[in-house]
Structure 1
Amino acid sequence: MDVTTARERLQDMLAELDRSIRVLRGDPVGVRERSAADAGADLTDNDRAQAMLTAATAQRRAVVEAMRRLEDGVYGRCVDCAQPVPEGRLEARPEAARCVQCQGKRERRR
């Protein structure tokens, strides 16, 4: 993926993640009288929103790091082994920091 395309895709992803994070941080529950069942449903909704916020924040961090690698001239190189990250992987996940092999090793360690 060329640098211009990568930059555009990463900027688009960052803008979309920022919008999602703003929505998830908002108060989706209006001011109204609530029953015990409503309170339980709100907890579930809040837990789900918190999980989505955590995932969006982590992805945002990965996108910002990818943009930094782009500016540093090392975008598209694995941060662990410095080998090229396959083009298809970057097409699917422009924020990818590792080649498939190193990413697999990282996930197996978790």
Structure 2
Amino acid sequence: MDDRIARTRLQDMLAKIERSIGVLRGDPVALRERSAADAGADLTDTDRHQAMLDVASKQRVAVIAALKRLEEGAYGRCLDCGKLVPEGRLEARPEAARCVQCQSKIERRR
């Protein structure tokens, strides 16, 4: 992938993620305004909200790391084996830090 295109895509992704994080971090509805019957729903909504915030935050870190690799000239190389990350993978996941094989190894360990 061309560095200019990669940088643009990564910067666009970062802007969208940061907007999402901003929305997710907005002020929660005061619990005193909710009825006791809504207390269970609050917990579920809070858990779901936190999970979305966690995912967005992790993705933000990955995009920032990809931008750093781009600046250092290491973008598009697997962090583990050093081989080129396939073009199709970078098209689908511009923040990808590993080739499919190395990423699969990491996911199997989890």
TM-score category, normalised to shorter length: over 0.9
Partner of 2:58, secondary structure, is: helix
CA distance in 2, matches of 1:41, 1:27: 17
Identity %: 74
Aligned match of 1:40: 40
* Aligned 1:1-110 pairs, distance under 5 A: 1-29=1-29, 33-110=33-110
Q: Deviations over 1:48-92 (max 9, x none)?
A: 000000000000000000000000001000000010000000000
Q: Which runs of 4+ in 1 moved over 4 A?
A: none
Structure 2 gaps, min length 5? none
Letter in 2 for 1:26: G
Larger displacement relative to structure 2 (21-30 or 44-53): 21-30
Instruction: Give the Å deviation of 1:33.
Output: 2.6
Letter in 1 for 2:89: R
CA distance in 2, matches of 1:42, 1:30: 10
RMSD of equivalent CA atoms: 1.3
Q: How many equivalent pairs are there?
A: 110
